[in-house]
Structures are given as structure tokens and as C-alpha cells.
Amino acid sequence: MELKVKDLKPNPFRRLNKYKINKAKVESLKISIKETSFWDNLLVRNKNGVYEIAYGHHRLVALKELGIEIINVPVRELDDVAMIKIMANENMDDWKNVPAVYTETVLVAKEYLDGELAKYETWDEFRSNKSIRPIFESEPEFRSVKGKGVGQTTILKFLGGNWKQHIIQDALNTLKSDKEGTVSKKAIDLLPSAEHSKIFKTEVKKYDIPKSEQEGLAKTIARNEIGKRATPDFIETHAKATGRIKPKEKELKPKEKAPNIDEFVEKLIKELHEIDNKVYTLIGNTQHIESNKIKDTLLLKIKTVTNTFNKVKEELI
């Protein structure tokens, strides 16, 4: 069907202000379109007279920038579930590089599912919902999810096999941390990779860095192309500069308790006996020295020690 490019609207579930258009990708598509022309690789639905694309938002921008006015594209009957799933599968190509992709996709899926579940009070009422009913196998499962809220298992069933549980879990963790006030989702969406996201969340929580500072840190990481391995050191440096890491205080040695007088005397007598024995041992060892000069010198030194030792013993007695 031939449609005017200006009349095409984005997927209503694709939040362009959150997951922004990649300019480099648009430029690449413009080159491709110039060289091979535009193929009908957009999918469109007619929603009450409004033509919405299911995927291909970068292609749509490329077409507009190239000044192409009319294209021939397929128009299909697509419900909201199909629009979300098509968008999610297209986003899988970029999820490793841009955290905003999977965070936004999971958020859209969760909000949609929560909204659908809120429409129905009983299992019998819900069974009329043909779009998402297949993801619930029984009434107990329906009631459990309705009571606790949509989690990673339900979202995984909804989005399909191309998505992985750890991706959804990480996105939900970001959304939860943002709600709790420990991590800024805006900051996470600015980071260049999924690995950056995981490291960033760990480090800002470790140093209790407020959300108001996290966006600036994320912008610096992206702008300066700080690698994932260097990210912990970068955040630690910030924490030190803002006083969140205090210098370690010198450990004060505990004062020694005054010794028990009986134990002190007993220990002193023992040590004096040991000194006495060592002196006699030294005197005995001098008998093996052949040089009289050396022998006399040693004996003189030993005699001085012995005299001092004897004076101490006399005073104690």
C-alpha cells in the first residue's frame, strides 16, 4: 500500500524520548537506501485511521532526512500485543549495546500486562482476553500474578523465546532500584553497554551516591568512553572527592593493663635465673678459646655483667 512518509507514526509503545534514535545507524541506513533504494521493510497497522509502524523507526527517520515522500509498505491487522512483541524482537539486536533498549522494553511489557490484569477480577472474566490469556496456564497462576504483580517469569512468557531471563531480571532490578531511590534509571539509560549498567549499579550503591549525581557520572562515562573495567575506579574517585570515602583512622593500640604484682615478680625471677644460667654457659665456652687476649677480654665483659647482676640480686634480697 502506498503511504506518505509524513503520515507514518511511530509504534505507540516505542518511547522515543527514552530510547532515542541512534544517529550513526540512521546515517548507515541512508547510505544503504541511496545505493539499493528502499525496500518495503517497514510493517504498518491502521489504528482508527492512523498508520503506525510496528518496527523500523531508524528507517523512518532516514526516509524523512532523504526527502522521500511516498513509499509502498505492507499494512497488517496488528493488536497491541503484536506491536509490543514485534518491537521487542527488533530491539534484541541492540540490547547488548544500549541498556535503555531492554529496560524500556521490559517496562512497556510490564505496564501493559499490569494494565490488562487490572481489567479482570475473576478467572472466568479473564479467559475472554485472547491476547494474553495463553501466558497463564491455570486460575491459580492468574490469581498469583494478579496478587503479586507481573514479574520476570510472566514477562518472559509474554515477550517470547528471543528474550532471556537474566536480561529481564536486570531490567526489573533497575526499575526497582530507581523506585527505591538508590539507582537512577535515567543514568542507566545513558550508559554504553549492559555490562556498564551492572557495574554502575553495584558501585553507586556501595558508596551511597545519590541519584542527583548519578546522571552526571553516566554522561561522563559515555562521553569519555570509560571502559567497564575502569568504571569502578572512576566511581570510587568520585566518592573520595565528594567525601563519601573517609580516610581510615589510625588504629589506637589499647592500653596495656597494669601487671599483677605476684605474676610480675614470678616472671622476673624466672628471667633472672635464665640470665644467670646464660652467664655461666658463656664462662664455660671461653675455655675453648685459644687466644688469651680474646679470652681475657670476654671474661672481663662477663665479669662486669655478673657483678651488675649480683648487685641487683642483693638489692632485691
d(CA 95, CA 219): 19
160, 85 contact by CB (below 8 A):
yes
pLDDT digits (tens, 9 = 90+) for 137-179: 889 999 999 888 899 999 999 998 888 888 899 999 999 999 9
Residue 5 above 70 pLDDT?
yes
At 210, is the pLDDT very low, low, confident or very high (cuts 50, 70, 90)? very high
| pLDDT tens-digit map of 66-125 | 999 999 999 999 999 999 999 888 877 654 557 888 898 999 999 999 999 999 999 999
What is the structure's pLDDT at 185? 93
Three cell numbers written together for 302: 662477663
Region of residue 181 (left: phi > 0; alpha: psi -120 to 50; beta: else): left
Question: Please, what's the largest Cα pairwise distance for the chain?
Answer: 123
Q: For the ranges 190-204, 234-248, 301-315, which has the lowest average pLDDT? A: 301-315
Instruction: Collapse the DSSP code of 279 into the 3-class scheme (helix H, G, I; strand E, B; otherwise coil) and give the result.
Output: helix
Report the alpha-carbon distance of residue 96 to residue 101 in Å, rounded: 9
* The pLDDT of residue 222 is above 70: yes
Label residue 251 by pLDDT band (50, 70, 90).
Answer: low
- Give the phi and the psi of residue 215 in degrees, each rounded to 5: -65, -40
The confidence score (pLDDT) of residue 72 equals: 92
- What value, to the nearest 5°, has the Cα angle with vertex 221 and ends 216 and 224? 115
| pLDDT (average), residues 129-139 | 86
